[in-house]
Structure 1
């Protein structure tokens, strides 16, 4: 066999240039590049090094023959002309991989069969034992490609795809192939960052592929050292002496590399099982001393204390094709971008996504993008230099005041405006002390102006109560007009920016319905949480301000707890529990609309569905069928519900004892149930006190902006087992 041999390296589409550079560094002369392949020339020594060291290729083929074949007989003759006795032993095993079609060869199975027949007939005619077909670990793996009547026959020296390093026996939900992960790290500049002592961090590490590939790259460990089968093992011209020397050289290099110290390489995943799989993969790769993986929500992402220098943040977040709903993932990407800006200033970052539109929602500009194929899915690597100049200005919470002449207020509107200013001033110190961003400014303080006014970080929401029958419709409309004019002046906004609703039930006993179709959600903050509110499309906004003390208390109590949120609405309490360190949360509601909203809220705060479940079901039925145990439960049923999804009608006054008993059956012995209701004139069933310890927290649960009402806006009790 000639000292200079012809090879072809195959690779994922888009990696051809990178594979060509890699091959040149490993001693090959690089020829023509084609889609998914690179032509190479070199020695057997270079071929062995490529198989052991390539981080990017799929396979390496040694070319044996090339000929024209117009039909199946010509294919048979061309393959048979090769002296196969020089390549596989008599009675050995082989496998033929065939690709391509022609008029006479309609499918790959037929093509492979004709090639196999040609090879074994060559042995039979020589009076030698015929080789057998082995689908697993054959002595010789043969690759035959037919394209436009031309056939190329080659030996697959890799034997199996080179991306299979041997360390990964289990993946996460959608693991990247190892060579694609390595290519992403190359494009992200990881080797340069590592050479400067930079750290590597993957906040959604899955099965740990980025971390393992990054470690082997920076430590210069051959990626093929964990493989036990090669396509040349049973090849008759295999030079074991050359291979053993290359292998020993790489083994010695690995031992030296593992003895050194490196900058931190850290990974997190919200799913404990997935994090455990990553640790197993890391251990099989021999890198347990150098890579640390732990269970952590994206919500807790911050710069670890042990990292002294800047580094590379790399991740492959879900992008909606298989792993989640795109509308919810928008908020996960927003949270990721926010964490990058606030915690990783002056770092480099790479986000690999099959949905680049999600990447645009991160609030930071990518300075470079690369196209890849993840399987069959077109994907992009977005690279970020995390500097203040790259930050994208997010939409402000408060709209700009309209450039219009101020309206002269009537005497009634001026009186109302003065009441608003008085309330704002009275609550200013409390709001600053408690960090309150969203609050009730006014709640029918003056009987003639029967409205509730809420400030959602500069966005004003006005709810008109039903006017008494003694008030004419014209008078009610006039007073509402005065309210709007006063609000526009006091809050310095355009009247058109004020959301206005009538708090009325629909006819025929229907539930409150969707009001407009703007689908305009804005982000507001409460404590540690960022949540979405919609001020126009629904009667309620997605955030009940009067329950603020309960939610903030849940955040304080939730650490290490199993939290259950019944009638969860938009699951803001679950967000607080998750950010407070809950072990896991479960949120149950019948409304798919509100559960979608809930999932957006969770994603916006970096809380994954691995630990924070949402369940669409009637709470009565769910409590009856569920046997889980929870340490902290919030039970806040609606006053009344006749949803088509549930059997019968829910009346909180009538049904609350049954609900409480069902929830207490799920409460751990030392747990806490928080029961709350907004039903006016509600009375707690006295028989409950015989079974449970009950603490009246009604006054405690009414915050500063809801005090002074003639009747409490809600009731609240803490219940524990006796």
Structure 2
């Protein structure tokens, strides 16, 4: 039975507004809803025939019957709305609670379902996992940056640090990069990155996958790159690193070291998602810096602080 609840109407409106983006970029993964209605503080991401929902409101007191009932009603409203507007089966609607993760928790499994599905974006395919981790394996907000990298990668030597599942590396390889070096601390994510390469029929001795403490790896670099991608976590105290990492405090020295390994006409793309981030004035003083934050946030996202992104070159 069709309804006219606020969430149904909003999903219909949002879907209509996103049609051109979906078609232009050949998307099967996108953000449908992002806390548009204050009473429904959720994020809804669509992945093929699945909907992944994150609760972003205040913490619910489950011992408070009234609060608990409201939450349950809202979730039921969302399920019904997704069934009506998106024709998604209830079994394919997944709720997750987002919270800050530290250290080893960043790599910890939530479940052990191990069901990967394939989504497409700008004719590139990626494996995602909707169940086993808090994140799916693909940061949807980096879609514009992936397209930028794809468009400028031809015949370039590219280094991707804190590469996660290697989506930016895949985009570079698809774009015709001469070489792509993908670095992450997690073997799980590096294996995932290699699977993404294989999924797109990418095979070359010039594609390198290295598990390393990135901070140590940078100190051992001996050659230069045309493009460096730096997308570190906001904070990490992982045992895989010799010391804890804080992007606000540590980004100046990290960028300075990497600029020593950037070719004369090279580009360093530096991105992070620390909401209170401020770029160190010394970086602006020493290098040519272009703030690309707004230009790299997809049109299906409402949160204009989902990430910061800078294009850094030699003066």
- Decide: shared fold, TM above 0.5: yes
Report the TM-score, using the length of structure 2 for normalisation. 0.92
Selected match of 1:427 from 18, 21, 29: 18
Whether the aligned pair in 2 keeps the contact of 1:564 and 1:632 (CA below 8 Å) is yes
Map residues 249-398 of structure 1 onto 2, 5 A cutoff.
none
**Secondary structure in 2 aligned to 1:472?**
helix
**Counterpart-to-counterpart distance in 1, 2:102 and 2:198:** 36
Q: What residue is the counterpart of 2:180 in the other structure?
A: 585
Map residues 500-519 of structure 1 onto 2, 5 A cutoff.
500-505=95-100, 510-511=105-106, 513-519=108-114
Determine whether 1:568 maps to 2:163.
Answer: yes
Cα deviation for residue 657 of structure 1 reads: 1.1
Determine whether 1:720 maps to 2:294.
Answer: no
Selected match of 2:297 from 696, 702, 706: 702
Whether the aligned pair in 2 keeps the contact of 1:587 and 1:613 (CA below 8 Å) is yes
Cα deviation for residue 518 of structure 1 reads: 1.2
Change in CA separation of 1:682 and 1:493 when aligned onto 2, cut-off 3 Å: same
Change in CA separation of 1:618 and 1:473 when aligned onto 2, cut-off 3 Å: farther
The size of the alignment, in residue pairs, is 311
Which structure's CA Rg is the greater one?
Answer: 1
RMSD of aligned alpha carbons = 2.1
Cα deviation for residue 499 of structure 1 reads: 2.3
Determine whether 1:479 maps to 2:74.
Answer: yes
Selected match of 2:47 from 433, 437, 456: 456
Whether the aligned pair in 1 keeps the contact of 2:288 and 2:313 (CA below 8 Å) is yes
* 1:445-471, Cα deviation, whole Å (9 max, x unpaired): 112211111112332211222525689
Change in CA separation of 1:481 and 1:649 when aligned onto 2, cut-off 3 Å: farther
* 1:347-398, Cα deviation, whole Å (9 max, x unpaired): xxxxxxxxxxxxxxxxxxxxxxxxxxxxxxxxxxxxxxxxxxxxxxxxxxxx
Unaligned runs of 5+ in 2: none
Unaligned runs of 5+ in 1: 1-405
Q: What residue is the counterpart of 1:497 in the other structure?
A: 92
* 1:633-660, Cα deviation, whole Å (9 max, x unpaired): 1111111111111122111111111221
Q: What residue is the counterpart of 2:236 in the other structure?
A: 641
Cα deviation for residue 473 of structure 1 reads: 3.7
Report the TM-score, using the length of structure 1 for normalisation. 0.41
**Counterpart-to-counterpart distance in 2, 1:569 and 1:654:** 21
**Counterpart-to-counterpart distance in 2, 1:665 and 1:484:** 52
Whether the aligned pair in 1 keeps the contact of 2:52 and 2:93 (CA below 8 Å) is yes
Q: What residue is the counterpart of 1:416 in the other structure?
A: 7
Whether the aligned pair in 2 keeps the contact of 1:465 and 1:504 (CA below 8 Å) is no
Map residues 231-246 of structure 1 onto 2, 5 A cutoff.
none
**Counterpart-to-counterpart distance in 1, 2:258 and 2:87:** 46
Comparing both chains, which one has the higher relative contact order based on Cα–Cα distances under 8 Å and sequence gaps of 6 or more?
2
**Counterpart-to-counterpart distance in 2, 1:509 and 1:610:** 31
**Counterpart-to-counterpart distance in 2, 1:507 and 1:626:** 28
* 1:87-127, Cα deviation, whole Å (9 max, x unpaired): xxxxxxxxxxxxxxxxxxxxxxxxxxxxxxxxxxxxxxxxx
